Every structure is written in structure tokens, then in C-alpha cells.
């Protein structure tokens, strides 16, 4: 095996996806059209939700929800400092400084026990994050909001990692008021770029047709999409709001529809890789293996976030360097948001989020993807064990 050929997270693209894109290209219709409509229906069916809206990314999907729900400057949004920057950036784009709640001890997920103290009369939304594909405890958050008589707070889930995950036996996608998924190239399920918003109440907050509002807001506020305007004499349209431009194309939707035909098998292979890693690490007292399945939740097996007991950042980084030398690519998910220059300039300090820092400082993300062979995964985990035990 040529270890220097191991990628970290390549997309799983087959001839099926290529053929479907070629069909779209030959059809003469490449922007938002019939394939997007078909893809949205398939997502809603898969996630057991009333509606799905396909968008250009998870990031734009989150911002679309905040915009349509009129969450703006003067409001407060609670989220986690342990996530990718987009979760916080979209809040800043609305003129709001995020309110951070630390993750629970020895967890990558927001500490629900600390939520109540962060809620104020100005709190309009909680934007939780399903790190590595493991769902947060949505019902526990809802129970808290009911207990404190704040069910007016909108529960939004950045479910970028958790497409295909399960919560209490059901696919993720209907538990929060809104779930936003990512179909970026490195995700389990890809459309190259892209994402989707799912929701289970098309009349949420009194809307007559929330799906329709999302669709025109995602298209510069325009009442007719390109397909509708192709009908003879149908050139006229209206602008109902100063909307965004974040619609998905039919080319992307075609990739997604092809991915659906293989996705269950892709998830099963990811689970097998996780099982292999877990078994190899089972007798290592220094290994803190990630929680990817418990009595009520099963992740989408998007990331394998290994933590190394008693390691410092320096030791963790040394292991990453050693693995790179033998051709094993790794990563760190994530640098906490308060550690970045922009967020430090807003007054945030990582010292206020000790659990977040503890999760980050000794974390190494191992390769985990549906085209990774079990043989290569075995090589990876053996090299990880050797590197850690040399540094320890």
C-alpha cells in the first residue's frame, strides 16, 4: 500500500453522478429547475419532514432562516463556540454578536444545563450544532424552553454533519424548528457545494406558505424563478424583499439524486470504519474515542474525533506532524471560534469556555469516508497508535 496516496476526505463520486450531470447539461436546463424540485421532495421524504428547500450551502441556509424569521440587530442568538466559523458568521451578518454557551464536559455538543442562564428577554433563537454527525438532545432543549415558558425561542439546528443521522429512531430533520444540512464536497452526501433547509411546519409563526417565502427570498426576492419565466408571455415578476442569491442548480441536484441511490451503503461503510478504529483503540488507556452512538442517537459517522488523554496542544501537533511524514493525513475539528482573530477583536476569550478548549487541545480527526478501504483504515490506525505512543 502506498501510504502517501491517502487523501483526508475525498468526495465519493461514481459514473452514476457523472451520467446524471451530463443529462442535465444536455437538457439545456442547468440552473434551478425540475431537478431541484425533485431533489427537495426526496430530501423531505428522507428526513420525514413537510418541506425541504435546496440552497447553495449550509451557511446560506442558516442565514436564510435568520433573515426570514426577522432575527436582526437588537436580538440575541445563542450558539456554541465549538463549531466551524459559518455558524457564528451568519449571526454576525445579521448585526448580532453571538451568545456562546460552552460545550458540556467531555462532549463536543452544547451544554444544555447552561442554556437557561444564557437566555434573556432578547433571546430569539438557539442555534445548536450536531458536531461529527451526532445530534444534540433536541427534546431536552425543548423541555427546557417549555419549563421556563420560552417556547417562543426558535430552535435552529446546524445539522451540516448529520444528514442521515438518527434521533430516537427517526432521521434528523424534523426535530428542531429548522435543520440546515451541508452537501459540501467533504460531507458524507455531496452536491459539490450545496445544502438544504428542512422544516415540519409550513405555517410556522403564522406564515401562509413558508416554503414559498424561503424560495423567493433565496432568489433576490423575485416572485418567479427562471423556469417559470420561460413560459411564453411570463416575463413579468415582482420583487417582494431585498433577498439573497442562494438557490441550488439542477446540476447540483442531479448529483444529489444520484447520491441517494447509494447513500445507505455509504453510511454502513462509514460505520464499519468507526468500528475498526474503536476496536483498535479499545485497549489503549490514552484513547478517548468519540461518542457516535448511544441509546437514543446514532450519528451519520461524518467525523472521527479522537482525543488523547493528558495531551497538550504541542503534543497533539507533534503527532499530526509524525503522521504526515508516513503519509497519514489528519485534521483538527475545530479551532474554537473565540481563538480566531476576528472573534477576539469582538471581545471573546477562550478562557471563558474551558470545556471547549479541553476538547480542542488534544483532538485529532482521523480519515473517515465512504471510499476508504478497511485495509487502509487499519494502516492509518496502526500508525496513529505508534505515533501517540512515541510522543507519550
SS3 133: helix
Reduce the secondary structure of 286-348 to three states and give it as a string: CEECCCCECCCEECCCCCEEEEECCCCHHHHHHHHHHHHHCCCCCECCCCCHHHCHHHHHCCC
**Is 187 among the residues known to form the active site?**
yes
Q: Give residue for cell 507519550.
A: 392
SS3 52: strand
- Please, is 242 exposed, middle or buried when counting C-beta atoms within 10 Å of its C-beta (0-12, 13-18, 19+)? exposed
List, in sequence order, the alpha helices (H) in 194-262: 210-217, 226-229, 250-260
Distance CA 373, CA 12 (A): 13
What counts of helices (H) and strands (E) characterise the chain?
A: 14, 13
Starting at the edge strand that comes first in sequence, how are the strands of the sheet with 51-55 ordered? 51-55, 195-199, 178-182, 154-158, 123-129, 76-79, 99-100
Distance CA 130, CA 110 (A): 9
75 DSSP assignment: B
183 Cβ contact partners less than 8 Å away, ≥ 6 residues apart: 58, 163, 189, 190, 191, 192, 193, 194, 195, 196, 252, 256
From the list 35, 187, 215, 361, the catalytic residue is 187
- Annotated catalytic residues are 187
Amino acid at each position: 500500500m502506498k501510504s502517501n496516496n491517502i487523501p483526508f476526505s475525498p468526495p465519493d463520486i461514481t459514473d452514476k453522478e457523472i451520467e446524471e450531470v451530463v443529462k442535465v447539461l444536455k437538457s439545456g436546463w442547468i440552473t434551478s429547475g425540475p431537478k431541484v424540485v425533485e431533489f427537495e421532495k426526496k430530501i423531505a421524504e428522507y428526513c420525514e419532514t413537510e418541506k425541504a428547500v435546496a440552497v447553495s450551502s449550509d451557511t446560506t441556509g442558516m442565514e436564510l432562516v435568520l433573515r426570514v424569521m426577522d432575527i436582526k440587530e437588537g436580538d440575541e442568538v445563542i450558539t456554541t463556540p465549538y463549531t466551524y466559523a459559518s455558524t457564528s458568521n451568519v449571526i454576525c451578518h445579521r448585526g448580532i454578536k453571538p451568545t456562546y454557551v460552552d460545550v458540556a464536559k467531555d462532549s463536543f455538543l452544547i451544554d444544555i444545563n447552561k442554556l437557561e442562564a444564557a437566555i434573556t428577554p432578547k433571546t430569539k433563537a438557539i442555534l445548536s450544532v450536531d458536531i461529527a454527525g451526532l445530534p444534540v438532545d433536541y427534546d431536552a432543549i425543548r423541555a427546557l424552553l417549555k419549563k421556563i415558558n420560552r417556547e417562543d425561542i426558535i430552535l435552529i439546528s446546524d445539522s451540516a454533519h448529520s444528514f442521515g443521522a438518527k434521533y430516537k429512531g427517526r432521521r434528523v430533520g424534523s426535530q428542531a424548528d429548522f435543520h440546515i444540512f451541508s452537501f459540501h464536497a467533504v460531507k458524507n452526501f455531496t452536491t459539490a457545494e450545496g445544502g438544504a433547509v428542512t422544516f415540519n411546519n409550513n405555517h410556522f409563526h403564522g406564515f401562509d406558505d413558508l416554503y414559498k417565502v424561503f424560495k423567493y427570498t433565496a432568489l433576490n426576492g423575485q416572485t418567479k424563478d427562471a423556469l417559470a419565466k420561460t413560459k411564453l408571455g411570463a416575463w413579468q415578476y415582482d420583487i417582494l424583499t431585498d433577498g439573497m442569491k442562494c438557490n441550488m442548480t439542477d446540476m447540483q441536484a442531479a448529483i444529489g439524486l444520484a447520491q441517494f441511490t447509494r447513500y445507505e451503503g455509504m453510511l454502513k461503510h462509514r460505520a464499519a470504519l468507526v468500528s475498526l478504529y474503536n476496536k483498535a483503540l479499545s485497549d489503549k488507556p490514552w484513547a478517548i474515542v468519540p461518542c457516535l452512538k448511544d441509546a437514543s442517537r446514532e450519528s451519520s459517522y461524518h467525523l472521527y474525533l479522537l482525543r488523547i488523554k493528558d495531551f497538550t496542544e504541542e503534543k497533539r501537533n507533534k503527532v499530526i506532524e509524525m503522521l504526515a511524514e508516513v503519509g497519514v493525513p489528519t485534521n483538527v475539528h475545530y479551532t474554537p471560534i473565540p481563538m480566531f482573530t476576528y472573534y477576539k477583536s469582538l471581545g471573546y476569550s477562550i478562557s471563558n469556555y474551558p470545556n471547549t478548549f479541553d476538547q480542542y487541545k488534544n483532538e485529532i480527526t482521523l480519515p473517515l469516508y465512504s471510499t476508504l478501504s478497511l485495509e487502509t483504515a487499519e494502516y492509518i490506525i496502526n500508525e496513529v497508535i505508534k505515533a501517540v505512543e512515541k510522543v507519550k
